Structure 1
Amino acid sequence: MNKKTNESIKQAVDLLIDNDTDVNTILKEGGLLKELTKRLIEKALQSEMNNHLGYDKYSRADNDNARNGITSKKLISEHGAVEIEVPRDRHNTFEPAILPKRQKRFDGFDDKVLSLYAKGMSISDIKIQLQELYSVEISEGLISQITDDVIDEVKAWQSRPLEEIYPIVFFDCLVVKVRQDKRIINKAVYVALGIDLFGKKDILGLWISENEGAKFWLGNFTEMENRGLKDILIACSDNLTGMSEAIEAVYPKTEHQLCIVHQIRNSLKYVSYKDRKQLSSDLKPIYTAVTEEQAHLALVSFEEKWNKQYPQIAKSWYNNYPKC
């Protein structure tokens, strides 16, 4: 890798270990969730247009109305502006239910978008999530058609080819709220967030599961391998059950680090605001040390300075740093 590539990767990693940044924030501010939102809404719009005209795109029409290009509409969502391509018809009678004409905001749907693109959702679960995206009542026939079309889109995204190499892949768990059996419940969505050779961030996979473990992670790594991912240089995760065994089975040369990101965030969790900047600066020599000896000396220095105020931090680093 050249110097420019190394710097791009370094900047991406620095963003991920910023004091106030987590994977959920990266998904939003990095444009990754915005991309999924755009794909989902546009697929629903296409499905609505098919229903409005009575035939699918590229099929022969039995009436004189037809598709007539697209118009661009800017939506304001929780993660910024999203440009949506809205299909038009020749008679100008198409009024989409998911995006009423004067609606400009699309808020409160991040959890639904994430859950819809995650593997592990049943067809009935997907249908319920889609119904909640609509602010108006729509027919059973239309929601069934939209569900079928969205499932095709989601499957295409889930099976898309990956790069052959990702220098760093972060694995994390997000808790999202979804409706199930007429109740709002919390579900765990496991995320693989890759950084490619140019420092570009990409969601490699999203999975919903009641139980994590070696079998669960082995299936996920095998899936990514089948999609073209040949090598991960460094896999960073919290202490997720079964992760190490699964990596060893599919990517035996990958270095698995208990995520330094989580270690830093856990260290700063109970630090007062006035101390955060200086304490963060004093932690950096520990995790950027070139040798184990340098890291140990930096940790001793940190302990001498901060142990009286925050004794749990140095103790945590002594316990966990050999695994990072």
Structure 2
Amino acid sequence: MTDAHSNPKQAAELVAELKASGALDELFSRIDSGEVELTGDGGLVPALIKETLERGLQAEMTSHLGYAKDDREAKATANSRNGSSAKTVASEVGDIEIAVPRDRDGSFTPRLVPKGSRRLGGLDDMIISLYAGGMTIRDIQHHLVSTIGTELSHETISTITDAVLEAVMDWQNRPLEEFYPVIYLDAIRVKVRDNGHVRSKAAHIAVGVDMDGIKHVLGIWVQNTEGASFWAHVCAELANRGVRDVLIVCCDGLTGLPEAIEATWPDSLVQTCVVHLIRAANRFVAYGDRKAVSKGLKAIYAAANEDTALQALTEFAESPLGQKYPSAVAVWENAWDRFTPFLQFPPEVRRVIYTTNSIESLNYQLRKVTKNRSQFPTDDSVVKLLWLAICNIEDKRAREREKERGKPGPRKASGRLVEGQITTNWKQALAQLAVAYPDRINRNF
């Protein structure tokens, strides 16, 4: 447990002073010999926390009563100390039994360890961090017992993680920018219990690129209905949160999305992700042929214009590979109207909307977190875990970048997956978008 206003530097300096004075030598010797354990039942750290808490509680009681514990003049006051009661609190270093002082009229309300509280604050933070890292509630229970000897029920751990739901809802409902040049949409599959049945659902994540090229996660939606009605709800929510215009929406040919986009933002362009098309085309291709098929398809999406691309598709369809895998040809034919807008842009813009990789890199991390869950109890639990995981990923990236700050040479830590990283070649892409959409770009500068 740390005080909100404590200074880590001052604490480190105090320890250094004690070490230099030799005051810690005997303690270190007893630790080295095994005579003193640092953690666990009877450990030094839990004992120090116990003494600190009890001293603080006694100070609170003195402030409450207005006199010190051994003050003889206390007999003249209406209220007085009345012994103590034992209480066990869970902490990051194990269970700690403390003596909580009482007063005769029962008016003392401790703040350091509030009434009804059975955990110190740092333990809650640890549990939320473990949960965000992908551990299930059962995993967390086992981890706490095996590492610090603290047993918490399934309900208690669930309650701790549910405490973030209010923050999640604030984030999910926060106001957004009026204009995003590009929005990426992609999804990961999760299993959710729904009315007694386990259903496979898509958790969709939207990342918007603002005028400065900075990426922002706009929201997380778990698909509980199919097609157009679901996307109409998502687009309406984004519009209600302030989004008035979007130039390009890059997605994976999601059913009902183009119609929902066009109904909400009539001037927006829906672009099917080229990488998703390549993957879909290779779905039924033998492993040994995939490299050749992908190479043959490159002439389509690298074409200078739609006519050249159509010629390349025709040539691929008539080639031995095209004849062997007609399903690969059909993927491009079926998506043609949503693929061809890509071809009207110069290379700088094509590189931005070529793929939803900006969001897929995030989804890769999120899939690692969700893979331990055979199923989720509710849609809200999916959103809660994904939000916590995004925060966890961001914090980790920020710490890595901070460590490398000022070091010579290129940074090894990758840029933020979301919120903070500027889209590659954004200035050049924005200049080209300004040529294609002069009124809408200039209006939002």
TM-score range, shorter chain: 0.5 to 0.7
More strand by share: 1
Per-residue deviation, 1:249: 1.9
Per-residue deviation, 1:142: 7.3
How do residues 72-83 of structure 1 correspond to structure 2 at under 5 angstroms? none
Pair 1:315 & 2:319 matched:
no
Pair 1:138 & 2:150 matched:
no
- Evaluate the alpha carbon distance shift between residue 133 and residue 186 of structure 1 in structure 2; reply closer, same or farther with a 3 A threshold: farther
Q: 1:152-181: per-residue Cα shift (whole Å, max 9, x none)?
A: 111111022334333332333422134567
Pair 1:235 & 2:262 matched:
no
Give, as a single letter, the amino acid of the residue that structure 1 aligns with 2:247.
Answer: L
Per-residue deviation, 1:315: 3.3
Q: Output the aligned Cα RMSD.
A: 3.9
- Evaluate the alpha carbon distance shift between residue 134 and residue 319 of structure 1 in structure 2; reply closer, same or farther with a 3 A threshold: same
CA contact (8 A) 1:98 1:134 kept: no
How do residues 52-201 of structure 1 correspond to structure 2 at under 5 angstroms? 62-63=109-110, 65=112, 96=123, 99=126, 108-109=134-135, 134-135=140-141, 137-138=152-153, 143-144=158-159, 147=162, 149-178=163-192, 185-197=199-211, 199-201=213-215
Q: 1:167-216: per-residue Cα shift (whole Å, max 9, x none)?
A: 33233342213456787653332332334445544332211232134333
Per-residue deviation, 1:231: 2.0
CA contact (8 A) 1:172 1:237 kept: yes
Separation of aligned partners in 2, 1:197 and 1:152? 29
Larger Rg: 2
| TM-score (normalizing by structure 1) | 0.54
CA contact (8 A) 1:165 1:229 kept: yes
Residue in 1 aligned with 2:354? none
Unaligned runs of 5+ in 2: 1-89, 97-107, 114-118, 142-150, 340-445
CA contact (8 A) 2:131 2:140 kept: no
Q: Which among 220, 223, 228 is matched to residue 209 of structure 1?
A: 223
Residue in 2 aligned with 1:257? 271
Q: 1:71-102: per-residue Cα shift (whole Å, max 9, x none)?
A: xxxxxxxxxxxxxxxxxxxxx966616737xx
Separation of aligned partners in 2, 1:198 and 1:139? 45
Unaligned runs of 5+ in 1: 1-47, 53-60, 67-91, 113-130
Separation of aligned partners in 2, 1:254 and 1:286? 24
What's the secondary structure of 2:123's corresponding residue?
coil
Residue in 1 aligned with 2:237? 223
Identity, in percent, stands at 36
CA contact (8 A) 2:253 2:335 kept: no
CA contact (8 A) 1:286 1:295 kept: yes
- Evaluate the alpha carbon distance shift between residue 272 and residue 107 of structure 1 in structure 2; reply closer, same or farther with a 3 A threshold: farther
Separation of aligned partners in 2, 1:202 and 1:315? 34
| TM-score (normalizing by structure 2) | 0.41
Residue in 2 aligned with 1:22? none
Separation of aligned partners in 1, 2:180 and 2:326? 37
Separation of aligned partners in 2, 1:93 and 1:254? 51
What's the secondary structure of 2:200's corresponding residue?
strand
Per-residue deviation, 1:318: 2.7
Separation of aligned partners in 2, 1:64 and 1:258? 56
Per-residue deviation, 1:252: 0.5
Separation of aligned partners in 1, 2:120 and 2:167? 26
CA contact (8 A) 2:138 2:154 kept: no
CA contact (8 A) 2:131 2:161 kept: no
Q: Which among 289, 295, 303 is matched to residue 281 of structure 1?
A: 295
Separation of aligned partners in 1, 2:211 and 2:291? 30
- Evaluate the alpha carbon distance shift between residue 307 and residue 215 of structure 1 in structure 2; reply closer, same or farther with a 3 A threshold: closer
Separation of aligned partners in 1, 2:152 and 2:208? 39
Separation of aligned partners in 2, 1:237 and 1:313? 19
What's the secondary structure of 1:153's corresponding residue?
helix
Give, as a single letter, the amino acid of the residue that structure 2 aligns with 1:63.
Answer: P
